[in-house]
Amino acid sequence: MKHYFLLFACAILFSNCQKDTAPSDPRDATRIEGRWRSLLPAHPDWQYDFNDGLLTQSVTDLGVVVSSLQFTYAIRHDTIHIGGDGINIPRTYQAYIHCDSIAELKNITPGAIIAPTMWLHKTQ
């Protein structure tokens, strides 16, 4: 089952990348600006809106926003530092933008026990 999941993820990744544009630096995290959602279908459906230093992280169910959180963020070359609050700790991600519509965010937060990699698809 793992192999089918990996094959499915690779197929989506390669089908969404466009080769007609000039290659950009994949480590340039400033390209993260915009609205993103999980590349693979997930429940709940998390959406991430990176807009000028403010990240709005929201959950939708059946097209309706159920919950929304806002955090500040800062970009340093290939690293995105996301601020925390009383419940959520600050997070640090290393960004790799494969093409204009696919991003890989690897959690490199110091002391993180579980460090998942997020695959995101740009919607706007």
pLDDT(22) > 60: no
**CA terminus-to-terminus distance, the chain:** 32
Tell me the pairing of strands 117-122 and 34-38.
antiparallel
- How many other CB atoms sit within 10 Å of the CB of residue 36? 23
Residue 98's nearest CA partner among 42, 27, 38 is 27
Residue boundaries of the structural domains of the chain = 2-17+27-122
Higher pLDDT, 30 or 10: 30
Long-range CB contacts for residues 49-57, cutoff 8 Å, separation at least 24: 55/82
Question: What per-residue confidence (pLDDT) applies to 91?
Answer: 93
- Architecture of the domain delimited by 2-17+27-122: Beta Barrel (2.40)
Of 10-14, 29-33, 89-93, 113-117, which range is least confident? 10-14
The predicted structure's pLDDT at residue 122: 94
Its pTM stands at: 0.77
Q: How high is the mean pLDDT of the chain?
A: 84
Where does the pLDDT of residue 52 fall: very low under 50, low under 70, confident under 90, or very high at 90 and above?
very high
